[in-house]
Amino acid sequence: MSVEVRDEEIVEKIVKGEIKLYEVEDYTGGDSFKATELRRRAIERITGVRLENIGNFSIDANRAMKANIENMIGVAQLPLGIAGPLQVKGEFADGSYFIPLATTEGALVASVNRGCTAINRSGGARSFVLRDGMARGPVLKAKSAEHAVRAARFIEENFEKLKKIAEDTDPFITLQRIEPYIVGRNLFLRFVYGTGDAMGMNMATFATDEILKFLEQELDLEHIALSGNLCVDKKPSAMNFLRGRGKTVVSEVVLKREVVKEVLKTTPEAMAEVCYRKCFVGSAQAAAYGFNAHFANIIAAIFIATGQDEAHVVEGSHGITTAEVTEDGDLYFAVTLPSLQVGTVGGGTALGTQKEALSIMGVYGPGNPPGSNAKKFAEIVAAAVLAGEVSLIGALGARHLAEAHMRLNR
């Protein structure tokens, strides 16, 4: 039987439902590239839609199907633009960096690029990682509130034993702390870990699961859910806004008055007033967790370009933009991101285009010492968010927002 005939038989069986989409690799000898093609051909036949662009890609399907996707039929392609270079000085980042941004929103790359120009002409951005810890928050059921209290005290007294259980699961994980929260007889435990250069959610999950097995046996607690929503993963929350999850990062610049005038076409006073009335009063009126202009725009574009977990844009969009006119008449401008979850190893970072995007910034792979690359990346991301905020608030102050979108987003 020829390969073409066999392939056609597999496609027909997929169409008829005799072979499920996730079973196709069983008929291709584990070759996910071939399985991707056959699934796509079957979907084309079922839907009557030609998937020419979805099927045109350079991603290693065998690699992707092992770690990143199921039932692959191809790719969803987005334009990838570059902003910068952007001068960043931090404890880990020190240089001039191009920023890869994957987006379909016209004007976004141009806006970030303009912010980079204003920052560079004012001496560059300063970025710092303030905290670093990935959280996982399971919920256990105790027999009573008293039982939950005793369990919380046991956990505090035996932290070193629990730390060893966690750290035996991975050479790059460190258990930093366990925060107990008791609601009735529900015991929530927020575990916080250092995870090296990985974003670390899976590492935290595996380590926490091992600790829970010990606690169930030792304390007669009932493990209800490995994630009890106190992590807080991929949801807006006061917990992450205040306590952080992943990297808590700040980036700042003093924009010179002449730069604000020449590059942003406005004044420090106008930008400070926009920031106050929009980011603070407007956000307070909306009861928003993000007191900023558009953190999510820049974070989403960088995350998609570099293989981050794009759902963590939710936490990444938390944060505060501040702007103050200085005694010299310049503009102090800063962004604080309490919950930026990024990594330079694991997840989607090893896929071809994502690896290249990280490499543009010099942050792909493990750092030396461990964790330094992810922190460098976080400092660059924060500076890019700073550039985006500078540009948008400048455009609002100059009343140029509609004009820019009419010109670049139509």
Domain ranges of the chain: 3-67, 80-132+247-408, 138-225
Tens of pLDDT, residues 209-246 = 999 999 999 999 999 999 999 999 999 999 999 999 99
Question: Given this model, what pLDDT does residue 289 score?
Answer: 87
Question: Per-residue pLDDT tens for 345-395?
Answer: 999 999 999 999 999 999 999 999 999 999 999 999 999 999 999 999 999
pLDDT of 63 strictly over 60: yes
Task: Return the CATH class of domain 80-132+247-408.
Answer: alpha beta
Nearest to 289, CA basis, from 228, 342, 337? 337
- Which CATH fold would you assign to the domain 138-225? Alpha-Beta Plaits (3.30.70)
Token code pair at residue 29: 């000898």
Residue type, 387: A
Determine whether 105 is an active site residue.
yes
* Residue from 31, 209, 309, 324 carrying the catalytic annotation: 309
Q: Amino acid letter at 7?
A: D
Each residue's pLDDT tens digit, 113-156 = 999 999 999 999 999 999 999 999 999 999 999 999 999 999 99
At residue 311, the pLDDT reads 96
| Beta carbons of 294 and 389 less than 8 angstroms apart | yes
Compute the distance between CA of residue 206 and CA of residue 222 in angstroms, rounded to an integer: 18
Mean pLDDT of the chain: 95
**Cis previous bond, 232, omega within 30:** yes
Q: List residues bridging with 94 in a β-sheet.
A: 89
Is-contact 290 319, C-beta < 8 A? yes
Q: What is the pLDDT of residue 262?
A: 97
Task: Tell me which residue of 181, 162, 157, 188 sits closest to 173, measured CA to CA.
Answer: 162
Residue 276 CA to its chain's centroid (Å): 27
Decide if pLDDT at 410 tops 70. no
Examine the pLDDT at 169 and tell me if it is beyond 60.
yes
pLDDT at 399: 85
Residues 6+ apart with CB under 8 A from 361: 97, 98, 99, 100, 377, 380
Query: Which tokens in the block code for residue 33?
Result: 């590239």
Q: Are 196 and 343 in contact (CB under 8 A)?
A: no
Catalytic residue among 12, 105, 209, 273: 105
Check if 400 is active-site.
no
**What is the pLDDT at residue 408?**
56
Closest residue by Cα to residue 365 from 279, 306, 323: 306
**364/15 Cα distance (integer angstroms):** 41
